[in-house]
Amino acid sequence: MSGPGRRIRVLVVEDSPVARRLIVHILGSDSELRVVAEAENGAQAVELAARHRPDVIVMDVVMPTMDGLEATRRIMETMPTPIVLVSAGYDGAVDLSFEALEAGALTLLAKPQGPQAEGFAEQATSLTITVKLMADVKLVRRRSRTRKPALRPAEGGRASPVTLHRPAGVVAIASSTGGPAALATVLGALPEATPVPVLIVQHITPGFHRGLVDWLDRVSPLRVCLAQEGSPLRAGEVLVGPSDVHLGVTPRGRIALSADPPVDGHRPSATHLFTSVARVFGDRACGVILTGMGDDGAVGLGVLKEAGGVVLAQDEATSVVYGMPRAAVVRGVVDRVLPLDQMAGAMIAAWNGGKP
């Protein structure tokens, strides 16, 4: 989509004229990007997306006439286009943002606050880099505008069993681009009486982890919390790693948060989580790698596999970006490659000692 010599065509959707001009300025300052149209609400976004066929849409979430959630749904049904959400980060915007991610938007960024704001340069760089990366993501048309009901555990349990030495005592999951929606699908299909703790590292813009936790807690039968230093691991509880710290576990079965340097550019790091879980749980560890860009987690899954644990990876067909799962598959450490709707069933089989 963004081949040599071709500028990436971007549609900017933002109801505030000041914020819209700022976003257009940031994108226009990069020689590889070209803003081809601007919209001030979701209805205009749908119309202009059909007219201009942009490579990427940068869209606010809270707008008059039609918000970013409804616009995302309509665009994904009719003309699937990579959508980068920009959110101001207050409660209503965050809720809509995660629903829009579930509807097909690819990723979520904090809305740039202006050249005088602290961290503006980093925000501007993040926006331009993200738009370039998302331009090459291949999408499929969404068939329905209604939220799909979560799979019941029995429906997600058709994956053939994995042979284990012992039943899994913990599940560690990592994801990045496309991850929030994938996590909602997987967690929504687990039974309320899940007998093991679930730990999650999700790469997301700092400041949005709390919103992710609150949203997952609403769409899952399990209790979903932000991990805190020293918290005990409890069966049936999902703990999500907070922004900018590594998530791990102690030999006493408690959460260990670390401000150690990033691992291969990531903090929190999936490799850190998988390695920590492998050291504590050994052959009772289950590692799950879902959709995401890059290769974070592959090294850690190698450690987990060597310790005797089981490794599950999302397949290419159901991944928004088949980067992280592919890296693990290429490394040769994956026991099962599964479509997303079978992942919960495979996890259930893991803690049942291999029985579906």
Q: Known catalytic residues?
A: 176, 203, 296
Rounded CA-CA distance 59/71 in Å is: 9
Rounded CA-CA distance 33/181 in Å is: 28
Classify burial at 36, counting beta carbons within 10 Å of its beta carbon; exposed 0-12, middle 13-18, buried 19 or more: middle
* Token couple for 63: 């707008």
* Token couple for 77: 């049904």
Q: What are the backbone angles phi and psi of residue 116, rounded to the nearest 5°?
A: -85, -15
Strand (E) positions, 23-68?
33-39, 56-60
Examine residue 268 and say whether the peptide bond preceding it is cis (omega within 30 degrees of 0): yes
Strand (E) positions, the chain?
8-13, 33-39, 56-60, 83-87, 107-110, 170-175, 198-202, 223-226, 237-240, 246-249, 255-258, 285-289, 310-314, 336-338
Q: Are 78 and 53 in contact (CB under 8 A)?
A: no
CA angle (283, 286, 289) in 5-degree steps: 140
CA angle (41, 126, 265) in 5-degree steps: 145
CA atoms within 13 A on the CB side of 218: 10
